[in-house]
A and B are shown apart, each in its own frame.
Chain A
Amino acid sequence: MITQLDGLINKEYTEIPQYTPKDFKAPIDVRWCAGCGGYSILSQVQRIMPDIGVPKEKIVFVSGIGCSSRFPYYMDVYGFHSIHGRALAIASGLKVARPDLSVWVATGDGDCMSIGGNHMIHASRRNVDINVIMFNNEIYSLTKGQFSPTSRVGQKTKSSPFGVLDDPFNPSSLALGSGSTFVARGYDNNPSHMKHLFQRAAQHKGFSFVEIYANCVIFNDGAFDEYTRKETRPTSTINLEHGKPLVFGFKNELGIIMDGYKPKVVNLDEGKYSVNDLIIHNEEDSTLALILSDMSFNPELPRPMGVIYAESKPTYDQKVTWQINDLIERKGEGNLEDLMRGDEWWEIK
């Protein structure tokens, strides 16, 4: 069937303009609070955009509701600020209808994991080719400080004056458990690391889930200090690199081995273990990904940062197109008049 969209969808680009990050800055003021983690995320996203190999007009940012969801207004590409929790369902419909677009979702811990939790797990399991950046600040900020599904047990917020009772989601485990084919974690005060993760997400064909620890200076200031400050970060986090052993510490003196099926910290300086005994990170190993992600909330273990998992498999939007093409190839393009007539028809002469 010929449609008005065919020209746009099939347009061939011999050359993509040489953009600069500035080309992706929308001509309006960014209205996040001074010191908000959002700024550095925005700036890194704008920085990778010239290099992802997609013409500007083919890029769409979709969001839901929350501080993070103002993101599309700040990007000078196509943008869609929707309603609470629904960005991933909107993005799914958009990507399936328009596989030619590069579709991004900016969301937060409340938007994505609470009101939008259902859409998160289903977009993830379908492997729709969408890049999700989840700003995790472990709080509802736009509604002024209630606990979120990633807030910690005991955390005192406006809606939990005596401490949060519910256990939080571990976002990377939820993403892995629901079938995400790309799962990564970074934090707002490490721009070059973030930039790398966004580039990887952009390259990945399939559902990419990138969790960024984003400090909320107003309602949850310092929530991630332990993992982001240079005084504590070397021992509280571990940076995952594909094909490399799991080492961390101020002088890379610490490592992770497998003790049975449990990861365990060892000190390489003690002489009992060498680098050869350590777990080698393999992004493509789904079992290892679950084990590494599960380290996140274990106080005995460093919190993993970087690309936890990356799997290559057909995307949902590709499969929709393939199924259509396959049927057309086998049965020929449908004639609507035949369809209207159906199998059981008769003629009055």
Chain B
Amino acid sequence: MEQQFVEVEKAVIRFAGDSGDGMQLTGTQFSDTSAEMGNIVNTFPDYPSEIRAPEGTLYGVSAYQIHFGATNTNTPGDKIDVLVAMNAASLKVNLKDVKKHGILLLNKAGFKDKNLKLAKYESNPIEDGSLKGYQVFAYDINEQVRRVLEDFDLPPKMIDRTKNLFALGLAYWLFDRPLEPTQNWLNKKFGKDEKIRDANLKVFKAGYNFGAMGQDLAVRYIVRPADLRKGIYRNITGNNAVALGLAVAAQKAELPLFLGSYPITPATEILHFISGYKQYGVKHMQMEDEIAGITSAIGASYGGALAATTTSGPGLSLKVEAMGLAVMLELPLVVVDVQRAGPSTGLPTKPEQSDLLMALWGRHGEAPIPVLAASTATDCFDMTIEAARIAIKYMTPVILLTDGYIAQGSEAWKVPTLDELPDISIKFATDKETYAPYKRDPETLARPWAVPGTPGLEHRIGGLEKDNITGLVSHDPLNHQRMCEIRAEKVERIVQDIPDLVVDGDESGELLLVTWGSTWGSARNALASLREKDLKISHVHLKYLNPLPANLGDIMSNFKKILVPELNLGQLKILLQYKYMRPIIGLNKVQGNTFTAEEIANKIEEILLSEGVSK
């Protein structure tokens, strides 16, 4: 049968199965290979908070989604073109996201009576006609891999476990991906165990050939390489980018890195990565609790390290008092909050942007802290270095907000060289003739950093209010007011040191879209679709939440309406309304996932329509 190639600009594929089916690995391979062949790639893993939920259940479904394209993908994608479902439960959970006429690659072996019952299907969807409207391709993959490996003396369980590679091979055939990257990876991964390696390689190839020899899969898709800048690339998740950003920031600051942390989803991976950086002289302590995580980091910062603590919402709550201490001490500290859906334990593995107001204001007393937010997985690297730069230069704790979406999602990253990155080093105080603990830099208002070991600079700091300049304990009321004002002004002055916003689109008009954090990607895709319809919308994206960029107020004043989509019930909206005294339209979602481009686009169209704006 003749096979037909169709070229598409972008596509979205999701691999779904039981949490033990190896879907994360399968997805990562598809993503790495696609990136390596030059596609722009965004991914998102979606897995249950249970480690190994009971097999075949709806709550045990694990999935990995890849959006790959010849042009910017921006997000892991909204609707799915191809769903690979290894069992009935994974079809049931994911079908709602599949495009009309989308492709379903199903493993028939996962649709037995037991599977159907666990997935709460009355009848088998493969047979009952309920999947009309999709292109359904159902094969017994378990049967296939058993046949492929019949000459291998392996236990049946182990043979069954290779089925994800069969599905992966089939997906490679469907999207015309080269086999070598995954073959190389399998060789490396199972190099020590030849039999397992050969079995995996054989099944993977068999999956590919099954597509080629098959009768029914007539159409293959081509997604051409993007026009990317020359250089070295890799795939990276936001959490990995934060970890690397900290290590690189320390090097660029000529300081040792210290991480004090406590495990918490979805921030733990940062701790995992950094704990592996011993060869780079990095020290870390997995502390007894979140409070010890941050306070050990404050101790290390006092000792002259670039110190950081990493956490998620509940942990940020526990660190609040210590952040106030860091404000009072005026010591550099990077606090990374990988936001997740709250309050309390909330939805631990799902993203949200609902810690913004807490990051800004959630401390007792007047305790201003600069707050930054990363917009994509790779932006996590840049913003981590930026957080460290501000912390060191201004002698202040800095909060960096990411979220579970970009922390666990990955995209291709053009790896910079160290020389391309800014020098962020400062000098420790050493001169005992001129030193005073709170004698400030006239430009930044930062106090000098005098570390133990420096002769003649022995001094005492602490949480009690200190006299300006001398640093002696002071209960003088006027001094306290002065110090509160100085600490506030120090943070405000950072505005001189951050870039002005650049408007994407016209400088004035009907509607300005203002986003922050990970909603950047959905907003970009929404704008792209609206601009195809000739609708004029402008967009600014905030990476600095405190202080806000200097020109934000002026930009906002040139638009009739302002829309802020965010994954909370209106926190940036509150901030902008209070700060610029004007009404803001919110688009708010707290459903444990991000916006689709369509949701944002629909809201924009609705606003413009109500205004009577025509194209």
Give me the interface of A with B, judged by CB distance under 8 Å.
1-5, 8-9, 11, 26, 28, 55-60, 62-63, 65, 72-73, 76-83, 86, 89-98, 100-101, 118-119, 121-122, 320, 323-324, 327-328, 331-334, 336-337, 339-342, 344-349
Query: Quick one: given A89-B287, A97-B304, A327-B279, are A345 and B452 in contact (CB under 8 Å)?
Result: no
Residue among A2, A82, A95, A121 having the largest count of chain B Cβ atoms under 10 Å: A82
Contact of A96 with B415 in the complex, beta carbons under 8 Å:
no
- Tell me whether B260 is interfacial, beta carbon within 8 Å: yes
Within 8 A of A (CB), among B226-267: 228-236, 244, 247-248, 250-251, 254-256, 258, 260
Contacts A/B (CB < 8 Å), 5 sampled: A4-B425, A26-B460, A65-B463, A81-B464, A336-B418
Contact of B460 with A4 in the complex, beta carbons under 8 Å:
no
Question: CB-CB < 8 A to A81: which residues of B?
Answer: 460-464
Contact of B298 with A60 in the complex, beta carbons under 8 Å:
no
Complex: A94 Cα to B329 Cα, angstroms:
15
Other-chain contact of B280, A5, A28, A122, A334 (Cβ < 8 Å): A334
Smallest CB–CB gap between A308 and chain B, Å? Answer: 24
Smallest CB–CB gap between A175 and chain B, Å? Answer: 16
Query: Quick one: given A1-B281, A345-B415, are A89 and B295 in contact (CB under 8 Å)?
Result: yes
Question: CB-CB < 8 A to B176: which residues of A?
Answer: none
Contact of B288 with A118 in the complex, beta carbons under 8 Å:
yes
Smallest CB–CB gap between A102 and chain B, Å? Answer: 9
Question: CB-CB < 8 A to B278: which residues of A?
Answer: 323-324, 327-328
Contact of A96 with B302 in the complex, beta carbons under 8 Å:
no
Smallest CB–CB gap between B430 and chain A, Å? Answer: 10
- The 6 A-B pairs of least Cβ separation, nearest first, read A81-B462, A93-B296, A93-B299, A79-B460, A334-B279, A97-B300
Contact of A344 with B32 in the complex, beta carbons under 8 Å:
yes
Complex: A96 Cα to B300 Cα, angstroms:
8
Which secondary structure characterizes the binding site on chain B? mixed
Complex: A55 Cα to B260 Cα, angstroms:
28
Smallest CB–CB gap between A165 and chain B, Å? Answer: 27
- Tell me whether B453 is interfacial, beta carbon within 8 Å: yes
- Tell me whether B495 is interfacial, beta carbon within 8 Å: no
Contact of B288 with A119 in the complex, beta carbons under 8 Å:
yes
Contact of B296 with A337 in the complex, beta carbons under 8 Å:
no
- Tell me whether B105 is interfacial, beta carbon within 8 Å: no
Smallest CB–CB gap between B43 and chain A, Å? Answer: 13
Residue among B32, B236, B300, B473 having the largest count of chain A Cβ atoms under 10 Å: B300
Other-chain contact of B299, A8, A94, A344 (Cβ < 8 Å): A94
Contact of B456 with A57 in the complex, beta carbons under 8 Å:
yes
Smallest CB–CB gap between A260 and chain B, Å? Answer: 37
Complex: A101 Cα to B460 Cα, angstroms:
16
Smallest CB–CB gap between B355 and chain A, Å? Answer: 22
Contact of A62 with B299 in the complex, beta carbons under 8 Å:
yes
Other-chain contact of A3, B38, B255, B322, B461 (Cβ < 8 Å): B255
Query: Quick one: given A3-B255, A86-B322, are A8 and B234 in contact (CB under 8 Å)?
Result: no
Complex: A1 Cα to B249 Cα, angstroms:
13
Contact of A96 with B298 in the complex, beta carbons under 8 Å:
no
Give me the interface of B with A, judged by CB distance under 8 Å.
32, 35-36, 38, 185, 228-236, 244, 247-248, 250-251, 254-256, 258, 260, 277-281, 283, 285, 287-289, 291-292, 295-300, 302-305, 307, 321-322, 325, 415-418, 425, 427-428, 451-464, 472-473
Contact of B277 with A93 in the complex, beta carbons under 8 Å:
no
Complex: A323 Cα to B284 Cα, angstroms:
12
Query: Quick one: given A3-B255, A89-B295, A122-B287, are A347 and B247 in contact (CB under 8 Å)?
Result: no
Contact of A58 with B291 in the complex, beta carbons under 8 Å:
no
Residue in A closest to B32 when the chains form the complex, CB atoms:
A344
Contact of B287 with A101 in the complex, beta carbons under 8 Å:
no
Smallest CB–CB gap between B321 and chain A, Å? Answer: 6
Smallest CB–CB gap between B203 and chain A, Å? Answer: 21
Complex: A264 Cα to B303 Cα, angstroms:
49
Question: CB-CB < 8 A to B283: which residues of A?
Answer: 96-97, 320, 324
Question: CB-CB < 8 A to B295: which residues of A?
Answer: 82-83, 86, 89-90, 93, 119
Contact of B453 with A100 in the complex, beta carbons under 8 Å:
yes
Question: CB-CB < 8 A to B35: which residues of A?
Answer: 346
Contact of A331 with B279 in the complex, beta carbons under 8 Å:
yes
Complex: A49 Cα to B279 Cα, angstroms:
36
Contact of B304 with A5 in the complex, beta carbons under 8 Å:
yes
Question: CB-CB < 8 A to A72: which residues of B?
Answer: 460, 462
Question: CB-CB < 8 A to B287: which residues of A?
Answer: 89, 92, 122
Contact of A57 with B454 in the complex, beta carbons under 8 Å:
yes
Other-chain contact of A83, B247, B254, B321 (Cβ < 8 Å): B321
Contact of B298 with A93 in the complex, beta carbons under 8 Å:
yes
Smallest CB–CB gap between A181 and chain B, Å? Answer: 18
Contact of B232 with A341 in the complex, beta carbons under 8 Å:
yes
Residue among B38, B234, B248, B425 having the largest count of chain A Cβ atoms under 10 Å: B234
Smallest CB–CB gap between A237 and chain B, Å? Answer: 34
Other-chain contact of B300, A78, A94, A119 (Cβ < 8 Å): A94
Complex: A60 Cα to B256 Cα, angstroms:
19
Query: Quick one: given A3-B256, A90-B299, are A339 and B280 in contact (CB under 8 Å)?
Result: yes
